[in-house]
Amino acid sequence: MKLKQITVSIENSPGRLFEITNALGEAGINLRGLNLVDTGLFGQLRLLVSDVAAARRILMEKQMPARVHEVVAVEIADKPGNLATVLKYLLDANINVLYAYAFVGFSSGNAVMIFRFSDNDKAIEVLQENGVRILDAQAFGILESENNIC
């Protein structure tokens, strides 16, 4: 139920995001989710991609250290207050959200939130107990062979 996400620190300079997305595109790797956050001289680029192992290998070959983290994808009805309801379940279980990003239009009128929690396994359990739908790698068309990810 967890997804593998690639995180890359990239310089805040012209062309860096292009360089990464172009290299992945040329290798036939599809972007399924992207989040870029400014942290000063560097940005934190978080990617959900169609082939995690191949993407990481390509980035490492380009001298761009790519870390793999586990994240949780949650489908939420795209209506006011629904995110707060989901967050309340987590608050009551004393689970911290380390970061999150969202997109709409992926899942038939619902929003999809990508989370990294202080305890992903416990968060999945709490969310499922409360009827929240967790999306897996297959829902995103992501290849995540455990044996191929370094």
Rounded to an integer, the average pLDDT of 119-132 is 97
How confident is residue 148, by pLDDT bands cut at 50, 70 and 90? very low
For residue range 6-60, list pLDDT tens digits in order.
Answer: 999 988 888 889 999 999 999 999 998 899 998 888 889 999 999 999 999 999 9
Dig out the tokens for 56 from the structure: 């990481």
Phi, psi for residue 93 in degrees, rounded to 5: -95, 5
Task: Give all strands (DSSP E) within the chain, no chain letters.
Answer: 2-11, 31-38, 42-49, 66-77, 97-107, 110-117, 133-135
Q: Which domains does the chain have, with CATH numbers?
A: 2-69 (3.30.2130.10), 71-140 (3.30.2130.10)
Q: Specify the DSSP class assigned to residue 46.
A: E
Answer with the residue of higher pLDDT: 11 or 130: 130
pLDDT of residue 59: 94
Q: Distance of alpha carbon 136 from its chain centroid, rounded? A: 11
> What pTM value is reported for the model?
0.86
**Neighbouring-strand partners of residue 102:** 113
**The pairing of beta strand 2-11 with beta strand 42-49:** antiparallel
